[in-house]
Amino acid sequence: MIQIPDAPLLVFDLDGTLAETAGDLTNTLNVILEREGLAPVTLDDARKMVGAGARALIQRGFAAEGRSVDGARLDKLFSDFLAHYEAHIADVSHLYDGVTPALDRFEAAGYGFAVCTNKVEVPSKKLLKALGIDHRFRAICGQDTFRDNGVNIAKPDPRMLNMTIEMSGGHPSRAIMVGDSRTDIDTAKAAGIPVIAVDFGYTDQHVSAFAPDIVISHFDQLWDAVHTIEKTRA
């Protein structure tokens, strides 16, 4: 894809925003939990745990049973989680209704796209490839894409969003974030980037509680939402 400097850029979260992935994430989490002698979590409960990356998901799964896990043990479980998840990356995961037509419409209008997710980069790219849209993004950035003194830079650190925009050849003044959680909204606000929230993703509260610029309930509404924001920038 030809990158046009300062062209408008839509930066998407992945899980719960572009794709319904809770089923495969829950199945993988339950493989880990059951192996550790813990009760499996339901899909509804897991949907409230997703969003901060696999390490946090594992910790939240343990916490649901009143247990904690950290250090070397968490590192081992994280490695096992990734191995199983990547082998089952899209058993049941799928794009949300309207994603492809929305990307088509924005691309025809000159927009570029990027992904900024707290999922690890490799499975993020593998998932988007399995879903057939990896080629549409100028950058696919995960929680391990950017580092500072050996430490991952992940949302809600605004640097992750700004660095994703830079890697995509975009500019903050022409970028809009699209996400499904408080983490996405807080990240965008801290970076000074407008944010559109979808209300069908993974959060324990309705996204309107976190005061995004606009809330949408279907990708059919994204076009009008983006142009409403752009009118305020004119």
Same domain, residue pair 157 and 229: yes
Strands 147-148 and 139-141: unpaired
Condensed to tens digits (0 to 9), the pLDDT of residues 153-195 reads 999 999 999 999 999 999 999 999 999 999 999 999 999 999 9
Same domain, residue pair 121 and 188: yes
Nearby residues of 64 by Cβ (< 8 Å), 6 or more positions away: 39, 41, 45, 49
What's the pLDDT score for residue 223? Answer: 98
Q: HEC states along 151-204?
A: EECCCCCHHHHHHHHHHCCCCHHHEEEEECCHHHHHHHHHHCCCEEEECCCCCC
> Do 68 and 60 contact (CB within 8 A), yes or no?
no
Q: Count CA atoms closer than 13 A to 22's CA, side-chain side.
A: 19
Q: Which CATH number covers residue 49?
A: 1.10.150
Domain that holds residue 117: 9-20+93-233
Q: Rounded to whole angstroms, how far apart are CA atoms 26 and 179?
A: 20
Same domain, residue pair 127 and 161: yes
Same domain, residue pair 125 and 200: yes
> Which burial class, exposed, middle or buried, applies to 23 when counting CB atoms under 10 A from its CB (0-12, 13-18, 19+)?
middle
Same domain, residue pair 68 and 182: no
Determine the residue type at 124: S
Condensed to tens digits (0 to 9), the pLDDT of residues 8-60 reads 999 999 999 999 999 999 999 999 999 999 999 999 998 888 877 789 999 99
Helix (H) or strand (E) holding 94: strand 94-95
Integer CA distances (angstroms), 13 to 1, 132, 155, 219, in order: 20, 17, 10, 14
Same domain, residue pair 117 and 191: yes
> Do 193 and 178 contact (CB within 8 A), yes or no?
no
Nearby residues of 81 by Cβ (< 8 Å), 6 or more positions away: 28, 29, 32, 54, 57, 58
Neighbours of 24 (CB within 10 A): 21
Show which residues are catalytic: 13
Domain end marker among 45, 60, 87:
87
Neighbours of 204 (CB within 10 A): 12
Q: Is residue 34 part of a domain?
A: yes
pTM of the model: 0.92
Neighbours of 114 (CB within 10 A): 24
Condensed to tens digits (0 to 9), the pLDDT of residues 56-74 reads 999 999 999 999 999 999 9
The token pair at 166 is: 């830079």
Same domain, residue pair 196 and 222: yes
Same domain, residue pair 61 and 144: no
Q: Is residue 13 part of a domain?
A: yes
Condensed to tens digits (0 to 9), the pLDDT of residues 94-152 reads 999 999 999 999 999 999 999 999 999 999 999 999 999 999 999 999 999 999 999 99
The token pair at 117 is: 């997710």
The token pair at 68 is: 């904690």
Same domain, residue pair 118 and 215: yes
Same domain, residue pair 43 and 159: no
